[in-house]
Amino acid sequence: MIQIKDLHKSYHMGTNSLHVLKGINFNVKEGEMVSIMGSSGSGKSTLLNILGILDEADSGSYILDGVPIKNLNEKVAANYRNKFLGFIFQSFNLINYKTALDNVAMPLYYQGVKRQERIEKAEHYLEKVGLAEWSHHLPNELSGGQKQRVAIARALASDPKVLLADEPTGALDSKTSQEVMELIQGINDEGKTILMVTHEHDIAQMTKRIVHIKDGLIIDDNPVEQVRASLYV
Amino acid sequence: MFDIERWQEIFETLRKNKLRTFLTGLSVASGIFILVILLGFSKGIQNGVTSQFQRDATNTITIWTGNTTKGYKGLNPGRYVQLKNQDYNTISRKYDEYLDYRTSLYAIWGGTISYKNESGNYQIRGVMPDHQFIENADISSGRFINESDLNEFKKVAVIGNKLKRDLFKDEDPIGKNISVFGMNFKVIGIFYDPGGEREESQAYIPLSTAQKVFNAGDNIRNMLFTVKMSDNFDQAVALSKSVSQGIENDLKQMHTVAPDDTSAVRVYNTLEEAQKIYSLIATIQAVFWFVGIGTIIAGVVGVGNIMLIIVKERTKEIGIRKALGALPMSIVGMILQEAIFVTMFAGLFGLIFGLGLLELIGPQIQSDFIKYPQVNFNVALTTVFILVFAGALAGFFPAYRAAKIKPIIALRDE
């Protein structure tokens, strides 16, 4: 599903240049659930942004579902993001003047899906994350866990190949975190490939594979015994 | 542009952001509204002032006399300077090449005029045929006084519309006899005057007849001339100024009046006054335009500012939309379409409201100096488009920049 070879990325700030990724080699197969761990500044978020076509690598190759992601113009990048990827952010990133339902329907709007179908699909995914009766609430009327679940529903709505989550539980308390993780595990159980950046060990233990990044290099890449979140709840 | 889904998205955004929409709309609508009202009243003042000074021909020289205030060549002050037919003939002949219409005048300020049982006190003026054009009197039926009336001392009268209404009501006065100080005069014409009721409550009779029936000998009260128009307004002003100066000097000499005596012989030159009025109108107009353009600039800056803030505020939303697969151009298009829609709608609203108000209160204004306030619709519409364009332009650059930045940076924007 994802093949990465010798990926480099530097940031330039004035005269200083910061080499963040120093040659990452990394493969993810379909249906995997991978957590990327590392201290802040290790390059894990940069890697995720490159994987999400939100940012571009300086050198190296990145193949997503058989498609090389290289020198894309904005139009193609937007198209791939829409078709291949679903994003879950630490700060939810819901549009605050739109209802939960409209937020979930948003990626479908950019896919050119008709309004009626959008609403039906969005309702389906909201139901899936257990928020059917909150569909007409605005984000600020929802709790943090509910917001993240709306964001997950939104990420799922476009039926992406890969779900990318950047610290999905970073802004949640531990109980809510486990509820959200349970949901994400359920999605993985249905066969969706999931990549997640986190620095919490117990959250990482709930995935199937942990990749450690330090100073821009992968230092450790091991499968783990998945801990089911439902055990905590 | 006619993508129904896009419109739905825009209307939803506008509905969910009522305050923002309202404030943008308000600044545009009020700008246009104020401009329309300003331009309307500027036009109204222009109309009013112009019509005030339109009642007589604008290039008239009026001459009248009074008592001397200064002794001169052994004559005492306080002597009345009486104009005679002879003075008129001399002046008329001397300045013949510069003069167009000319008349001398003998008027009785208040005389009783009656017809059957109706009577009233009216001004009676003995005039020459040219007086019609100098006063801008408009003959609605019958005719004005002519040369033969003058030569044959005919007892004929041309009466003003007000006088006609007072004495004759609905009756046709042409050919009827009115009594002036007990003498019968035949009505030969009725006139309207743009100067209004005051001028229309007069009766004109031939000068020669007036001098005879009022025992005036060959005395006259005034002389009125119009100066031939030059192509250029400034030249016309200069000419009529020099002619009136010449006439004043000649008359003073003929009547042995001190050259610096300002009350014995007076020459009033309307063109010089008209020039002042025209420059006043031009100034008023310039001021209104200045204020109007200032309003528009303030409106443009206001709309631009709002657009900048809107885009800034929506940077994160733009990042989210991009992460969800929005094309950069669809984001720019969305913001622009929204901006254009709001400014256009609000601008037209302000325009219609302003025009409506002018239309409504315009006719109610009872002032001689503000008449028919109105706005050139095209000017108003153009300003709406300028505002819309400015709003779109002010929205475009930040929107374009926001759509270009990487979604990850836009997402970090808090």
B234 pLDDT above the threshold of 60: yes
Nearest to A82 among B324, B328, B408 (CB): B324
The pLDDT of residue A117 is: 92
Q: Which residues contact A16 (CB under 8 A, 6 or more apart)?
A: none
Angle at the Cα of B151 from the Cα atoms of B145 and B155, rounded to 5 degrees:
55
The pLDDT of residue B368 is: 67
CB contact under 8 A, B17 and A75: no
Integer Cα distance of A65 and A161 in angstroms: 8
Q: Which residues contact A7 (CB under 8 A, 6 or more apart)?
A: A21, A23, A24, A25, A26, A47, A50, A57, A59, A60, A61, A62
CB contact under 8 A, A78 and B326: yes
B2 pLDDT above the threshold of 70: no
Chain B contact for A205 (CB, 8 A cutoff): no
From the candidates B324, B404, B405, which should be mutated to test the interface with A, based on the most A CB atoms within 10 A? B324
Rg (CA), chain B: 34
Q: Taking residues B82-87, report their average pLDDT.
A: 91
CB contact under 8 A, B323 and A93: yes
Q: Chain A contacts of B401, Cβ < 8 Å?
A: none
**Strand bridging mode A67-68 / B60-65:** unpaired
Separation in Å, CA of A42 to nearest CA in chain B = 17
B142: its two tokens: 């019958």
Q: Which residue of B has its CA nearest to A107?
A: B324
DSSP E strands in B197-348: the ranges are 202-206, 219-220, 222-227, 265-269
B52 pLDDT above the threshold of 70: no
Q: Chain A contacts of B316, Cβ < 8 Å?
A: 93
Which residues does B contribute to its contact with A (CB < 8 Å)?
A: 5, 8-9, 12-13, 16-17, 316-317, 319-330, 404, 406-408, 411
Using one digit for the tens of pLDDT, what is the confidence trace for B164-180? 888 888 888 899 899 98
Q: Which residues contact B313 (CB under 8 A, 6 or more apart)?
A: none
Q: A208 by DSSP, 3-state: which?
A: coil
Work out the number of other CB atoms within 10 angstroms of the CB of residue A195.
26
The pLDDT of residue B53 is: 62
Which is it for the CA torsion B226, B228, B233, B234, positive or negative?
negative
Q: Taking residues B53-67, report their average pLDDT.
A: 76
Chain B contact for A29 (CB, 8 A cutoff): no
Q: Chain B contacts of A106, Cβ < 8 Å?
A: 320-321, 324
A95: its two tokens: 């549009």
Chain B contact for A83 (CB, 8 A cutoff): yes
Using one digit for the tens of pLDDT, what is the confidence trace for B208-220? 999 998 888 889 9
Integer Cα distance of B81 and B90 in angstroms: 16
Positions in chain A whose pLDDT score sits under 70:
233
The pLDDT of residue B294 is: 85
Nearest to B8 among A55, A95, A115 (CB): A115
Q: A114 by DSSP, 3-state: which?
A: coil
Integer Cα distance of B1 and A68 in angstroms: 34
Q: Which residue of B has its CA nearest to A109?
A: B5
Q: Taking residues B373-388, report their average pLDDT.
A: 81
CB B382 within 8 A of CB B68: no
Integer Cα distance of B37 and B52 in angstroms: 22
Band the pLDDT of B231: cuts 50, 70, 90.
Answer: low
Burial per residue of B327-356, b for 16 or more beta-carbon CB atoms within 10 angstroms, e otherwise: bbebbbbbbbbbbbbbbbbbbbbbbebbbe
Q: How many percent of chain B have pLDDT more than 90?
A: 14
Integer Cα distance of B246 and B98 in angstroms: 12
Integer Cα distance of B176 and B174 in angstroms: 6
Q: B208 by DSSP, 3-state: which?
A: helix
Integer Cα distance of A53 and A78 in angstroms: 8
The pLDDT of residue B1 is: 46
**Strand bridging mode A193-197 / A162-166:** parallel
Integer Cα distance of A30 and A22 in angstroms: 25
Q: Chain B contacts of A78, Cβ < 8 Å?
A: 322, 325-328
Q: Mind spelling out the 3-state secondary structure of B40-66?
A: HHHHHHHHHHHHHCCCCCCCEEEEEEC
